[in-house]
Amino acid sequence: MRESSGSRRAAIAWAALALILAFAGQFLTVHFNYGGKWTGLFCTGSHFPVPPELSGEHIYIFSNSAGYDGQFYHYIAHDPFFQRGFASYIDAPRLRYRRILVPFLAWLLSGGGGRYLHAAYIGVNLAFVFLGSYWLGRCFQLRGMHPAWGLAFLGIPGVLISLDRMVVDGPLTALAAGFIWHTLAGPPAALLAVLVAAPLVRETGVLLTAAAVLAALAERRWRRAILYGATALPALAWFAFVQSHTTPAGGGPPLLTWPFVGLYQRIFTPSAYRLPVHISLLAATLDWVAIAGVLLTVALTLRLVTRRRNALAAAVALYAILLTTLRVHFWLDAYSYTRLISPLFVLLLAPDWGLPLRWPVAAIGLMLPRIVLQLGWQALGIVRRLVG
């Protein structure tokens, strides 16, 4: 018991360090790049109008830009139950509103969308960084490794992108780490909580639920399969509520196609960057390096799912299917496909699959340079301000 308690404290300490590092990175870019305006993290673009009710927030606006998804989750946090009409300012309200958990928690912690909503939203995002790092560190401890490996959570593309643009993929990646830890070490109630939360963060979280159900069915544990399946009911109820308050036009573009069709089309689609020639060439080159990481990821999943028949293997298989069936428009942006499949990266990293750790690390490492390049302008802005 003492050893278990000490291991838990060590994992908590390293997870706290991950949280501090994440917050420090956000603080520096807000201070030096956004003039101290924390709303810069929501990446609000000038191409979309801002709800007039939020004019008093003096939101940081990126000029000549469509912004990014975080701007819409910010609006949802102000109006989670369709009471203020903010859905009309969201590009795909039926799609975005399904991903309610992070905006709702921010709304709840700020006392119903009060003056501290931005701090609450950022705090919720950082809390998931802590949880993801803690759960990942605990998984590595099961493998006899140091809990400092939990810091690797900060290197998962979806986590970096969520810290940069306040999207929901980092929190879902954290829940994927929780799914692994509680599948391996319990307690069962905590696993159920993770399964309830995951599809409410992002609908692709239901793949974790499906994996748990499939594993229970394979083991002929019928009651457990029903119990795991029931964890999807809150999400299904919420999706029905969203469906009744939105139109089909708000569902967003189609997500999936036949396996490998999107990737095949991407190979024959030239990159089109409106950047200086040398930066465009570098970005295009790193795009291909990242796609090499995707192919390595697919190869790893094919090998792993033939070795095991459990919930973790089922989750790997389901997320691999998601990866290989993405439409071409996801493949055109490294920020899109890497964050969408970030739960798969954790599923490859955390359990002991009997394969050298260097292989999943290499797969992720091939994708990171393209993500880091995207963040480069922020780092450059910080350096320029620091050196005067």
- List pLDDT tens digits, range 243-288: 999 998 777 778 889 999 998 898 888 877 777 888 889 989 999 9
Residue appearing with tokens 């830890």: 181
C-alpha 92/C-alpha 13 separation (Å) is 40
pLDDT at residue 337 in the model? 92
Residue appearing with tokens 């790049």: 33
Q: What is the DSSP string of 83-131?
A: -SSGGGGSSSHHHHHH--HHHHHHHHHTTTT-TTHHHHHHHHHHHHHHH
CA dihedral 5, 131, 29, 165 (to 10 degrees): 170
C-alpha 364/C-alpha 292 separation (Å) is 10
User: How far, in Å, are 5, 133, 138, 151, 350 from residue 146 at the CA level?
Assistant: 15, 12, 9, 11, 12
Write the burial class of residue 114 (CB in 10 Å: 0-12 exposed, 13-18 middle, 19+ buried): exposed
Q: Of 28-42, 120-134, 366-380, where does mean pLDDT reach its minimum? A: 366-380
Supply φ then ψ for residue 37, to 5 degrees.
-90, 110
- Region 366-376 average pLDDT: 92
- List pLDDT tens digits, range 128-145: 999 999 999 999 999 999
Q: Is the pLDDT of residue 388 over 60?
A: yes
Q: Are 322 and 341 in contact (CB under 8 A)?
A: yes
Q: Are 129 and 159 in contact (CB under 8 A)?
A: yes
Q: Is the pLDDT of residue 301 over 80?
A: yes
- Region 204-227 average pLDDT: 96
Q: Is the pTM of this model over 0.75?
A: yes
Q: Is the pLDDT of residue 156 over 50?
A: yes
Longest CA–CA span in the chain (Å) reads: 66
pLDDT at residue 73 in the model? 98
pLDDT at residue 370 in the model? 93
DSSP 270: -
Q: Is the pLDDT of residue 357 over 50?
A: yes
CA 208 to chain centroid: 14
**Where does the pLDDT of residue 34 fall: very low under 50, low under 70, confident under 90, or very high at 90 and above?**
very high
- Region 215-241 average pLDDT: 97
C-alpha 304/C-alpha 142 separation (Å) is 19
Give percent of the chain with pLDDT exceeding 70. Answer: 99
**Where does the pLDDT of residue 241 fall: very low under 50, low under 70, confident under 90, or very high at 90 and above?**
very high
**Where does the pLDDT of residue 161 fall: very low under 50, low under 70, confident under 90, or very high at 90 and above?**
very high
CA dihedral 154, 44, 273, 22 (to 10 degrees): -10
- List pLDDT tens digits, range 78-123: 999 999 999 999 999 999 999 999 999 999 999 998 889 999 999 9
Non-local (6+) Cβ contacts of 140 within 8 A are: 146, 147, 149, 150, 350
- Region 51-68 average pLDDT: 95
**Where does the pLDDT of residue 4 fall: very low under 50, low under 70, confident under 90, or very high at 90 and above?**
low
The radius of gyration of the chain from alpha carbons, rounded to an integer in Å, stands at 20
Q: Is the pLDDT of residue 313 over 60?
A: yes
Non-local (6+) Cβ contacts of 262 within 8 A are: 325, 326, 327, 328, 330, 331
The count of C-alpha atoms lying within 13 angstroms of the C-alpha of 201, restricted to the half-sphere facing its C-beta, is: 29
**Where does the pLDDT of residue 1 fall: very low under 50, low under 70, confident under 90, or very high at 90 and above?**
very low
**Phi-psi map region of 292: left, alpha, beta (phi>0 left; psi -120 to 50 alpha):** alpha
pLDDT at residue 3 in the model? 52
Q: Of 11-15, 37-41, 61-65, 330-334, where does mean pLDDT reach its minimum? A: 330-334
**Where does the pLDDT of residue 8 fall: very low under 50, low under 70, confident under 90, or very high at 90 and above?**
very high
Question: Which tokens is 17 given?
Answer: 């360090």
Query: How many residues would you count in the chain?
Result: 388
Burial call 84-105: b when 16+ CB within 10 Å, e when fewer: eebbebbebbbbbbbbbbbbbb
Give the chain's mean pLDDT.
93
**What single letter denotes the amino acid at residue 365?**
G
**Where does the pLDDT of residue 308 fall: very low under 50, low under 70, confident under 90, or very high at 90 and above?**
confident
Q: Are 289 and 369 in contact (CB under 8 A)?
A: yes
